[in-house]
Structure 1
């Protein structure tokens, strides 16, 4: 099967020709979302071939009981997962009594599917000859409204080509769905009612255990040659499904269209008793506006998003398509309107990772949302963690920590840990550091210190307490060590003194001490409240400082580098270049035991520390560490290539930087890992954005000044992007012969370009 079948196009993801083997891959690639709900690009009509039906509602989840062979103290009770929601997109079609099913047609021709990223819609068209020899042309368009985020719209048009035909449309709602990834084949939904009124239908259901109430709704309308017709319908309702049937005789060459509006209302946003009435109003509003007017709204909403978040690349269509694909899905997944929501690694495109929140948000996603949205959006992501602080303290208590120490979960929906692999749940504690780093990064970029006295300092204190208690004082070395951990490189478990973990622990403590002093001096009321709540004492702070000052880091004098962990040099150091291609990817070819003993690095680990704390190390130190660790890195995590791309660009290795960029930007489009049918890698898409802006653009904040060191891959004519820096919009345009800056705003901005200060006035073009 050809995984690389998507047509090169700067603004669209286009598939031509019907191939049953790639249906599931395309369902992932062309998924739709609007921040509140999303769905895979499943066919509306019956399809009996291989498919992965998936619709998801943001924030609605189920605690699937943890499945392990041997229970350990501290294990989470459940693995949280986003639920496959009731299906509202379904429109079964019968032609002269035969079901339209692309898996069974005699012939399918001119098949074309397009995800238009510029305007935010999905279309599909084809001609099909059924087994009864009726030939039809089908044209479908669908979108999930950004303006009315409880609403989606479908226009499904059929034209008989060779004969007149009876065409039956059977739009339905179906609550009889299950997750692909259920542990125990549990039933996730209780159906409470199935109702209809006029052309509207409603299924009200409730999730088991978590008791989220959801109303799934639809409204239908039939048109002939563009004019609405009164088409008689019959209704068939069961305990968990309702279907309307519209039968119409259609002449050869005429077109009949089913317009269907649908979506979800949820008790997260409305009183559970009002869900049906809210859905009725939403559907009626959609009908009054009509499909075309809603589509125009959609185009305008996306134009506004793209105006701020687009990265345009001239001279490289593959790179252009890749970056827009990433930016599009990031904006579909998270809008920033709701601080109760976060960014799941698969977004609304699949069920792997349970739709939960990982450290990916703080480490990779926040820079994108800070720079391309209003700063409130990034602040909401920080607030999400503040709101879960009590749960993080409970999580730490379950593992034996005390005195308000917090361990944020590796995987969560509501703040509780819900991951059940011990080497990650108990050992991948570096996630605490990413959450503290995000607070620092937010202040560094936005200049908004207010978050720290209001909320952030409490989080920092709880994290610092954890690091102090987690460190062990070695009597042999008279230094503090952090034992039994897994770093970002998950191909090493239960190691001692992972450099990245030790380094971020030391940094977290020092940064917390610095923020305590700053809040104490400048925000005395907040400090009194925080001190009363956390009961910090000078003795405790002295103990923190001792741990930070005496933290141990494994170092090799022979190589003049920090070691990824204590025993790294004891491994058989065979580089990836000398690993036979037949052995890759090792996570699919090797036993776990063999992987753990190998020198191979799943993702940037020591180099992740050099990425976060770049200004703590010289360029020469970065180069030494990059040259040592990169040859052992297999990049079998989607989060890996972007960090290496940024660092290669800093080291002026632009060919290597470009290769890593292309790999991260087209990871899903070209299906590098041969797994795209399971869903997309949403959080690594933010890393792709960083590869351009921080890598090629060299954007940093240094000493409170926005700084750039622009570079350009040799195959590109130019690239351009915008950022929102402290409520000033700056456009950066990098060409082979220079870089220009244009400021939207009402006051001057001083930036640094290649180490020199440059003053920019509003609406003035400055070329360097």
Structure 2
């Protein structure tokens, strides 16, 4: 991989690979994938290779391939493959000689290009250029372009191009055999219908062919076979002549809001898709691309305005890479849809949503684009039906959110079985769908954080209060009374550290449940006083008056593991501090992840003092942003002691972990370590290891890149009712600049090594806590940093 190819206006905007290997296709396909939140297109090459993975996903189109499988995002028909023949022989970079190979994603324009000089086995030299994008201007459009120039002598070029629905999800077929058709020998259409959820997908594609800038109107050959329809073009290029082919595609489904109606008919979807395609063909690749480029500039780069002046230009690129992927992974167009753990870049985790969204991705939108944050939280509101069903099925009350979520009403969709047990050779049981329950309070925290940052009372009235109250009802029913200690416990759970299964009193789970209960009590009192009408509605629906004293009583009697007197360490669970210690050096220095599973099975790991990812530390990070922040258990001293204890024991075998550690390391003055952890988080997808992203990008880690910069280096936090800013830039960062929103007010924050400035873009009055001191200002304020003593900080 190469990250320095961008020049002039595109400096630090380009992610590239500069050599081709048919054995290492996955990384480029994933990290350079294209999308717009409606759909995601994995960046497989136009010509086919054995180890390629061709994926096209449309958000929300979940389907269950078989009764014994869980629902997943189905892999839609492929439109990117071109079967190219040069002088009658299949074109492949595995044959002949390739020079000057570059494939690059320009994250500023969201266009993928690939170019190289190729000498055929017969000695003929050709220059290739491929381009493609998935439009942010029209969410249904995929545009591709191929240019081939014959440099030495005449050459026969033939290519097959169309729509191929023979693809699967790793062998699972999600679609019925669909209708295929070619209109006017030009417009190709293929219909797919999912075999369980009954979702219709209509693909339409067309081509424009030019030689030396003049459109060629020769009619192609038409053909179709099972689940496939295509056109064949045959052309001759003389020496110095250039072929240009534009392939334009539209994708529509009846899950799209404009068609998801009782009056829906498939004919409407087909006609609309073809009409949209014809309009796209009339405009052509270049005009479509210009509209797409403008949409990116106006909707993304002008809005987030994130710049880092670092002595290492990789830092700026990594943050832009994060903003690019946060944009294309998020279904901002539809509040019925969430974000998958692998975004829309691969089949990993089946497109399901986890706590990743609320804790590691949503904060970016809450602070930067609250309209999208509201949409993502509304998805969880729509999921209350499935959460209530899960609670009931497990013998509890209220709303128990699924560990893995798909369509919001589906409920729990976590698979039952996972990887091989290296001791028994059997499949390992996946327990997270049953006993990893902290996601319920994670969602409540996300609602609270959104409300504190935005002040969106309308969302709370329509959705948020109900979510908080019903999740609190779950926790109240989940707590278990311990007669001996006369307190409530939460037994048999998995906390964020998934290397510890079936533990009692996981600190994170207990404290977050406590927070959820106390939050519900606060909102009960607030809503009853400020909006009695809505209070009465929810009281009738959820029996709030009966639930309130139970929340109060059980919260006060809930066991919360305290910092030990000797070292201030909060026990991760009842047994963690008594587990066997081993030398973790081998696993801390591993190139990949989960290396410990090659030596131990889950039962053995459960008995070792080792942590998969941040657990107690993410608890400290989250709750200091709440009304509990004055509690001594979340003090600086406790944070420092727990960081020093748990960090050496944490393998960061989850991509969620590094960003949290980076933020806390910066908080406690370990700035070099903080930057090192930030860099590691960036390199999970962008780093040198070529197989880390084969199954897709790490969506939560990408959100963590932004969080480590903004919550870590810029020191942004909620404190009480105020925005708190406490920056500590890495030594080699000269300046960082970004825009967030606080109570609907856009604030542009600029931090250098010597000064902090805040500009209210709407020219309003702002109150912020900066370095522990309240500042009230109109329009803009600048605070010197160098003159502030460490004691004051």
TM-score by length of 2: 0.91
The total of aligned residue pairs comes to 745
1:215 aligns with 2:202: yes
Q: CA offsets per residue over residues 271-313 of structure 1, 9 Å max, x none?
A: 3331211111111111222211111112111112112224322
Q: Is the 8 A contact 1:741 1:767 kept in 2?
A: no
Give unmatched runs, 5+ long, in structure 1: 68-77
CA–CA separation in structure 1 for the residues paired with 2:189 and 2:586? 60
CA–CA separation in structure 2 for the residues paired with 1:557 and 1:624? 11
The counterpart of 2:193, out of the listed 199, 206, 209, is 206
1:273 aligns with 2:267: yes
Over the aligned positions, Cα root-mean-square deviation in angstroms equals 1.9
1:51-200 superposed matches below 5 A: 51-65=52-66, 78-103=69-94, 105-180=95-170, 185-198=171-184, 199-200=186-187
SS in 2 for 1:169: strand
Task: Tell me the residue number matched to 1:15.
Answer: 17
Q: CA offsets per residue over residues 578-599 of structure 1, 9 Å max, x none?
A: 8684797324443223321111
SS in 1 for 2:156: strand
Q: CA offsets per residue over residues 251-273 of structure 1, 9 Å max, x none?
A: 11110111000131110122333
The counterpart of 1:343, out of the listed 339, 353, 377, is 339
Task: Tell me the residue number matched to 1:699.
Answer: 716
SS in 2 for 1:163: coil
Task: Tell me the residue number matched to 2:523.
Answer: 515
Task: Tell me the residue number matched to 1:479.
Answer: 487
Task: Tell me the residue number matched to 2:681.
Answer: 664
The counterpart of 1:676, out of the listed 687, 693, 698, is 693
User: CA 1:280–1:429 in 2, change beyond 3 Å: closer, same or farther?
Assistant: same
User: CA 1:563–1:671 in 2, change beyond 3 Å: closer, same or farther?
Assistant: farther
Q: CA offsets per residue over residues 534-579 of structure 1, 9 Å max, x none?
A: 12333x3222222110111334343332200001121123464586
CA–CA separation in structure 2 for the residues paired with 1:473 and 1:649? 39
Task: Tell me the residue number matched to 1:382.
Answer: 377
**Higher alpha-carbon deviation: 129-138 or 277-286:** 129-138
The counterpart of 1:632, out of the listed 635, 649, 662, is 649
Q: Is the 8 A contact 2:684 2:692 kept in 1?
A: no
1:217-256 superposed matches below 5 A: 217-256=204-243
Q: CA offsets per residue over residues 61-112 of structure 1, 9 Å max, x none?
A: 2224576xxxxxxxxxx42211111011222212221121222x22111111
Q: Is the 8 A contact 1:98 1:132 kept in 2?
A: no
Task: Tell me the residue number matched to 1:370.
Answer: 366
The counterpart of 1:742, out of the listed 730, 742, 759, is 759
Q: CA offsets per residue over residues 183-212 of structure 1, 9 Å max, x none?
A: xx4421113310111321000110110111
The counterpart of 2:296, out of the listed 278, 296, 302, is 302
Shift of 1:688: 1.1
User: CA 1:579–1:146 in 2, change beyond 3 Å: closer, same or farther?
Assistant: closer
Q: Is the 8 A contact 1:645 1:661 kept in 2?
A: yes
Q: CA offsets per residue over residues 471-505 of structure 1, 9 Å max, x none?
A: 11101100100000000000000000001101011
Task: Tell me the residue number matched to 1:407.
Answer: 400
Q: Is the 8 A contact 1:345 1:682 kept in 2?
A: yes
Q: Is the 8 A contact 2:15 2:105 kept in 1?
A: yes
Q: Is the 8 A contact 2:756 2:782 kept in 1?
A: no
CA–CA separation in structure 2 for the residues paired with 1:767 and 1:110? 49
1:488 aligns with 2:479: no
User: CA 1:674–1:159 in 2, change beyond 3 Å: closer, same or farther?
Assistant: closer
Shift of 1:353: 0.6
Q: Is the 8 A contact 1:154 1:261 kept in 2?
A: yes
Q: Is the 8 A contact 1:192 1:205 kept in 2?
A: yes
SS in 2 for 1:295: helix
Q: CA offsets per residue over residues 101-154 of structure 1, 9 Å max, x none?
A: 222x22111111010001110000112222333321110110000011000101
CA–CA separation in structure 2 for the residues paired with 1:629 and 1:547? 29
Task: Tell me the residue number matched to 1:75.
Answer: none
CA–CA separation in structure 2 for the residues paired with 1:672 and 1:252? 41
Q: Is the 8 A contact 1:237 1:243 kept in 2?
A: yes
User: CA 1:723–1:234 in 2, change beyond 3 Å: closer, same or farther?
Assistant: same
SS in 1 for 2:23: helix
CA–CA separation in structure 2 for the residues paired with 1:530 and 1:238? 56
Q: Is the 8 A contact 2:658 2:681 kept in 1?
A: yes
Shift of 1:651: 0.9
Q: Is the 8 A contact 1:110 1:125 kept in 2?
A: yes
User: CA 1:64–1:411 in 2, change beyond 3 Å: closer, same or farther?
Assistant: farther
Q: CA offsets per residue over residues 713-754 of structure 1, 9 Å max, x none?
A: 012222221112222221112212222222211322222221
Shift of 1:249: 1.5
1:542 aligns with 2:549: yes
Q: Is the 8 A contact 1:8 1:321 kept in 2?
A: no
Q: CA offsets per residue over residues 17-71 of structure 1, 9 Å max, x none?
A: 22223222211121111111111111122x234211111111112224576xxxx
**Higher alpha-carbon deviation: 286-295 or 588-597:** 588-597
Task: Tell me the residue number matched to 2:788.
Answer: none
The counterpart of 2:415, out of the listed 416, 420, 424, is 420
Shift of 1:703: 2.3
Q: Is the 8 A contact 1:347 1:355 kept in 2?
A: yes
Q: Is the 8 A contact 1:8 1:317 kept in 2?
A: no
Q: CA offsets per residue over residues 670-702 of structure 1, 9 Å max, x none?
A: 156943111110122111101000100001122
CA–CA separation in structure 2 for the residues paired with 1:588 and 1:528? 56
SS in 1 for 2:136: coil
The counterpart of 2:42, out of the listed 40, 43, 56, is 40
The counterpart of 1:752, out of the listed 744, 769, 780, is 769
SS in 2 for 1:561: coil
CA–CA separation in structure 2 for the residues paired with 1:757 and 1:548? 33
SS in 1 for 2:250: strand
Q: CA offsets per residue over residues 445-495 of structure 1, 9 Å max, x none?
A: 111123222222222222111111111110110010000000000000000
1:574-723 superposed matches below 5 A: 574=582, 576-577=584-585, 581=589, 585-614=595-624, 615=629, 616=631, 617-670=634-687, 674-723=691-740
Q: Is the 8 A contact 1:119 1:299 kept in 2?
A: yes
CA–CA separation in structure 1 for the residues paired with 2:712 and 2:28? 30
The counterpart of 2:558, out of the listed 543, 551, 557, is 551
User: CA 1:127–1:217 in 2, change beyond 3 Å: closer, same or farther?
Assistant: same
CA–CA separation in structure 1 for the residues paired with 2:751 and 2:768? 15
Q: Is the 8 A contact 1:751 1:758 kept in 2?
A: yes
Task: Tell me the residue number matched to 1:573.
Answer: 581
**Higher alpha-carbon deviation: 352-361 or 750-759:** 750-759
CA–CA separation in structure 2 for the residues paired with 1:418 and 1:16? 40
Q: Is the 8 A contact 1:153 1:261 kept in 2?
A: yes
